[in-house]
Amino acid sequence: MHLAVIMDGGGRYAESRKLPRINGYIYGTRAILDIIDACDEQKLSCVSFYVSSKENLSRGIAEKLAISSVYVDFIQNTLLPICVTRGYKLFFVGDYEQLTPELMATIAKANSATINNRGLTIAFVFAYNGMEEVTKAFNYVFEKKLINMSYTPATIAEVEQYMYSAALPPVDALIRFGGQRRLSGFLPFATTYAELFFSDKLFPEADKGDIYDVIKQYKKIKRKFGEIK
């Protein structure tokens, strides 16, 4: 089972407590650890976290540097040692050109250290825009067809293999924190048949119980994928 998490509300959490926005992201990493523990305990195969969209990074350099500094420290000093010990695999999705050199170096180190692990896959999605991902993948397929003088229509399978998220399995269940009821362009291909759950909690308030509730509800759903059974 692949659980996707939209981590909304970190900035609002900090502002409501008269703290700098960066504190909301720091507290959010604690919630990430809780969610990872719950996913491992429930024997999920993959959990993905929507950290930042392209639109988030357009808020300014201060926001970009805040996200980068928090996740460089979190991945290097907290998460990576846990992944090495427990056999988790770290995976990253997004437009790497939009990330700071420090975060890019941390991602490269984490990938290298966990690439052969076979436990829970933990994916972080940075600087991401779902429509852009699909468009870039389609244009790549289109360019290859022109070079090879192939005039056959592009297939879903051809487009998917060139997407940032190609290595991730389809999302089975998605939970968004922060009180909003939208996907904000998150993994449009992978979430096509995802069961959607929403929480009014701001993300730093998330805990294991939220994940256990989602998994419990998910298991009650009869998934037909458009068929009559």
Q: b/e per residue, 61-81, with b = 16+ CB within 10 A?
A: eebbebbbbbbbebbeeebbe
Please report, rounded to a whole number, the percentage of residues in the chain having pLDDT higher than 90.
75
Q: Is 111 a catalytic residue?
A: no
Give me the CATH topology for the region 2-128+171-220: Undecaprenyl pyrophosphate synthetase (3.40.1180)
Q: Is 37 a catalytic residue?
A: no
Strand ranges in 1-58 using DSSP code E only, listed in sequence order: 2-6, 46-50
pTM above 0.85, yes or no: yes
- The catalytic residue among 34, 37, 40, 56 is 56
Residue 188: the pLDDT is: 92
Pairing of strands 89-94, 46-50: unpaired
Residue 89: the pLDDT is: 97
Q: Are 162 and 198 in contact (CB under 8 A)?
A: no
Please determine, for residue 60, whether its predicted confidence score (pLDDT) is greater than 80.
no
Please determine, for residue 227, whether its predicted confidence score (pLDDT) is greater than 80.
no
Per domain, the residue ranges of the chain are 2-128+171-220, 129-163
Please determine, for residue 75, whether its predicted confidence score (pLDDT) is greater than 80.
yes
pLDDT class of 226 with cuts at 50, 70, 90: low
Q: Which secondary-structure segment (H or E) carries 64? A: helix 61-74
Residue 228: the pLDDT is: 62
